[in-house]
Amino acid sequence: MSASTRSRGRSLPSCVRLRSNAKNDVQVGPVGVYIYSSEICRLEDVGPVLGTSSVLADYVDAMANWEIACPDQAEALTVKIIPSTAPVLVIQYWTPFALTWQFGSRGFSQPEYRHHATMYQTGVVVARPRGPLGLICVRLRPEGAAFLLGERMQYFRDAPIGLDDLFGTSRVSLLEEMLAEARTSAERFACVERFLAASLRERRGNPVACRAAALLRQSPHLRVRPLAARLDVSERHLSRSFQAMFGMSPKQFARVARIESAWSARCQGTSWADIAYAARFTDQAHMINDFTEIVGVPPGQLVRPHYV
């Protein structure tokens, strides 16, 4: 089996506990903040399980499996998801959770797709289980996502699109049944891997935009002019190609990639001051301002349990 997994608990990579008490267990994880309000068990005991795919390494960045069978334990969890350059696929095989998009004081409920694809670029998405939680989340590489989602990634920006419309209702329903019947996360990741491998398309995204996205994820500080020079195209051609595929400019994509990189460093326990220096922000205040403009709140407020 080609899909690999890592178990719950101490072996979970990139996760920092901020506080733990009788009321709230708060952790900074790869996609955002996990808040667990339960005296029944600890957050580290309920997931998620993380995995990778060797077969689909060019298309899939990472996979995660949340599974909490007890309704009371599941409903004690809140996940706050921050913007990312990575499109994500969400497949729910038990009770669907409720999604709310928030930007500062503004917010609204998201359409309730049981299975969907999206690419959030602004605000915070708050996910709350409403019963037993069974969920697979697949983070795609933006430069390879077109093979699965089509050439116009802009359609997925800040909007969930049902997987039934992308892959067909019968195929997605069968995948849901297989996930519900699987006994381990490794089995579920293998099911998803086979499903995605059979869904690859011959069409691919604009090669200039795809290469630019890959470079910006590696070096978010790159400006448009040197980026265009690296790709041996004009700035105008680069901007038009990128806008057509991702629905945003290379500069905006780079801003999100920079915040994503900073958050990843924070997950490993790096201080905000060191992160600002490594990410080439002018100073920590500059980084916090950028974070606030994209996420809607500063990082300190995001990790507060009451901001949900």
Contact 55, 195 (CB under 8 A): no
User: Of 160, 176, 199, which residue constitutes the final position of a domain?
Assistant: 199
User: Of 151, 166, 199, which residue constitutes the final position of a domain?
Assistant: 199
Q: Judge whether residue 63 has pLDDT over 80.
A: yes
Tell me the sheet residues that pair with 162.
116
Q: Judge whether residue 308 has pLDDT over 70.
A: no
For residue 179 the two structure tokens come to 């996930």
**Is residue 307 a part of any domain in this protein?**
no
Taking residues 47-70, report their average pLDDT: 93
Can you give the CATH number for the domain in which 293 is found?
Answer: 1.10.10.60
Higher pLDDT, 91 or 280: 91
Q: How does strand 161-162 pair with strand 115-118?
A: antiparallel
- Predicted pLDDT of residue 105: 86
pLDDT band at 12 (very low <50, low <70, confident <90, very high): very low
Helix (H, G, I), strand (E, B) or coil at 308: coil
146, 227: one domain: no
Q: Judge whether residue 292 has pLDDT over 80.
A: yes
For residue 34 the two structure tokens come to 């996990």
Higher pLDDT, 203 or 10: 203
51, 167: one domain: yes
Average pLDDT, the chain: 88
d(CA 166, CA 223): 34
Q: Judge whether residue 19 has pLDDT over 70.
A: no
- Nearest residue to 71 (alpha-carbon basis) of 94, 98, 44, 42: 94
Model-level pTM greater than 0.85? yes
- Nearest residue to 259 (alpha-carbon basis) of 210, 208, 297, 231: 297
User: Of 178, 199, 220, which residue constitutes the final position of a domain?
Assistant: 199
Q: Judge whether residue 96 has pLDDT over 50.
A: yes
pLDDT band at 23 (very low <50, low <70, confident <90, very high): low
Q: What is the per-residue pLDDT across 151-162, written as a single tens digit (0 to 9) for each?
A: 888 899 998 999
226, 109: one domain: no
Tell me how far CA of residue 283 lies from CA of 95, 146, 257, 300, in angstroms: 44, 36, 18, 16
- Predicted pLDDT of residue 38: 77
Question: How many angstroms from the chain centroid is the CA of residue 283?
Answer: 26
Q: Judge whether residue 307 has pLDDT over 70.
A: no
- Total tally of structural domains belonging to the chain: 2
d(CA 176, CA 164): 11
pLDDT band at 34 (very low <50, low <70, confident <90, very high): confident
229, 185: one domain: no
- Predicted pLDDT of residue 8: 40
DSSP H helix total and E strand total for the chain: 12, 14
- Predicted pLDDT of residue 17: 52
Can you give the CATH number for the domain in which 158 is found?
Answer: 2.60.120.10
Question: How many angstroms from the chain centroid is the CA of residue 125?
Answer: 10
Pick from 42-51, 217-226, 241-250: least confident: 42-51
- Predicted pLDDT of residue 252: 96
pLDDT band at 10 (very low <50, low <70, confident <90, very high): very low
Helix (H, G, I), strand (E, B) or coil at 1: coil
Q: Judge whether residue 271 has pLDDT over 70.
A: yes
181, 216: one domain: no
d(CA 111, CA 189): 26
Helix H, strand E, coil C: the string for 62-100 is EEEEEEECCHHHHHCEEEEECCCCCCEEEEECCCCCEEE
**Is residue 277 a part of any domain in this protein?**
yes
Q: Domain residues for 8?
A: 3-199
Ramachandran quadrant class, 32 (left: phi over 0; alpha: psi -120 to 50; beta: rest): left
Bond from prior residue into 48 cis (ω within 30 degrees of 0): yes
133, 241: one domain: no
Contact 121, 170 (CB under 8 A): no
Q: Judge whether residue 46 has pLDDT over 80.
A: no
